[in-house]
Amino acid sequence: MLIHRLATLTGLAVATLFLAAPANALTMAECSTKYNAAKDAGTLNGQNWNQFRKAECGTDASATTTDTKPAKKTAKATDTTNAAATDDAAPGLTAKECSAKYQAAKAADTLNGMKWNDFRKTECAAGATAAAAPAKATTKAAAASDDDAAPGLTAKECSTKYQAAKAAGTLNGMKWNDFRKTECAAGASAAAEPANTTTTAATTTDSGKGLSMADCSAKYQAAKAGNTLNGMKWNDFRKSACGAGASDDDTVPAADEASYNSDPETPTVTAPKGVKFPKAISNKYSSETPGKARLHTCLDQYYANKDANALGGLKWIQKGGGFYSLCNAALKS
C-alpha cells in the first residue's frame, strides 16, 4: 500500500513539472531571429528585447543566456548568436540598420575593402550598435541587398549621371566627390538617357565644340529665370554647362548683361586678316543710342565669329584693341 501511494505521488510531481516547464521554449538564436523579424515588420508594439523574449519565446522571467543549453543545439549556431546578451541590443542590427551602418562606413572610407556580406556578418551581428544617422539623410539611400553588388553605380554610370545633372543645372554647387557619395551609392539608379539627344547637347560634340554662343546664352537665360544659377556668372556657366574651354575668353559679356557706359579705347593694332566685322548697326538695335547699338551689334558678330572659329585670336577686350574696340571703330567710320 505504501509503495502504491509513493508511486502515485511521484507521478503527480512529474506531471506537475512537465506542465510547468517551457517544453517548446525557443533557443536564444531562434528568439533573436523572431525578434528581428518583428522589429523589421514593426510589430513589436513597444516591447524591448527582454519583454519580447519572456512573452514570445517561452522563457520565464528569470531566464538568462546562462540557462541550461537547449537539448538540440545545432552545429551551425555561431558564437556571436549564442553570446546574445539580455539587453535590448542583444539580437543584433536589422537589415535597415546594418545598411545605414554600411553606408556610413563607405562614406567615411573605412570599409578597408570589405564587401557587404562580410560587413553584415562582422559588424551587424548580436551585440552590434547601429551607426549614427547622418545629419542630412536622404530618402534615396536604399537598403543594401544581400549580394556583393549592393554598393551602387559604377564609376562610368556615376560620371554619366553627374554630367546630366551638370548640364541640367541641378548640381546646386555640389562637387564630384560629394555627388559620387550621395547620388551613386547603394540603391542609386543611373541617370535616364535624354529622350531626344541632339548635337547641341552640353557635352562636347564630334567637332570638339560645345553649345553655340546663342544656344548657351538661351540656356543661361533659362537658368537665370528659373533661379538655378546659384551665383554662377556667365563665363563660369559657359565653361561648366556649355562645353567652353577653361582658357576661353573671360572678357565677353552675356547678351543681356552687356551694359554701355562709354566707347572702348581706340585700337592701336590692326585686325587679324580674315576677321569679319559688321558694316552697319543691326536694324534690331535701331531704337537704341548709337553707342549702345554699336555694342550690341558688335557682340552679335563676336558670337557668330566665335562659333565659326573666326576670331583670329582676338578676345572681346584686350590691350591695344580687342574685337569690341576694332568693331566699334569700324562702325563709327
Give the end of a domain, one of 42, 64, 86.
Answer: 64
Residue 271 confidence (pLDDT) = 92
User: Do residues 243 and 263 both lie within one domain?
Assistant: no
- Alpha carbon distance 144, 190 (integer Å): 16
| Same domain flag for 263 and 328 | yes
Are 331 and 266 members of one domain? yes
Note whether residue 87 is domain-resident: no
Query: DSSP labels for 106-170?
Result: HHTT--TT--HHHHHHHHSSTT--PPPPPTT--TT-PPP-SSTTTT---HHHHHHHHHHHHHHT-
Same domain, 298 and 265: yes
pLDDT of residue 245: 79
Q: Is residue 266 part of a domain?
A: yes
For residue 60, the model assigns a pLDDT of: 54
Q: What sign results for the dihedral spanned by CA atoms 168, 170, 176, 177?
A: negative
* 268 shares its domain with 236: no
Domain assignment present for residue 215? The answer is yes
**Domains in the chain: how many in total?**
3
- The predicted model gives 157-181 an average pLDDT of 75
* 20 plus 59 within the same structural domain: yes
CA 246, 247, 250, 253 dihedral sign is negative
- Same domain? For 240 and 293 the reply is no
Residue 168 in any domain: the answer is: no
Owning domain of residue 317: 259-333
pLDDT at 137 over 60: no
- Average pLDDT value over all residues in the chain: 72
In a domain, 96, yes or no: no
Between 7 and 186, the higher pLDDT residue? 186
CB 40 within 8 A of CB 95: yes
Q: Which amino acid is at 326?
A: L
Q: Does residue 269 sit in the same domain as residue 317?
A: yes
Residue 265 lies inside a defined structural domain of this protein: yes
Q: What is the mean pLDDT of residues 114-119?
A: 80
Most confident region among 54-63, 67-76, 100-109, 202-211 by mean pLDDT = 100-109
Per-residue pLDDT, 163: 74
Predicted confidence (pLDDT) at residue 108 exceeds the cutoff of 50: yes
CB 34 within 8 A of CB 47: no
Task: Specify whether 333 is located in the same domain as 263.
Answer: yes
Same domain, 285 and 324: yes
pLDDT of residue 298: 95
Over residues 241-252, the mean pLDDT reads: 84
The C-alpha angle 51, 57, 58, rounded to 5 degrees, equals: 100
Residue at which a domain ends, from 227, 247, 267? 247
State pLDDT tens for residues 288-310.
999 999 999 999 999 999 999 99
Q: What pTM did the predictor assign?
A: 0.38
**Residue 114: inside a domain, yes or no?**
no
Assess whether pLDDT exceeds 90 at residue 164. no
Q: Same structural domain for residues 267 and 239?
A: no
pLDDT band at 243 (very low <50, low <70, confident <90, very high): confident
Question: Is 297 part of any domain?
Answer: yes
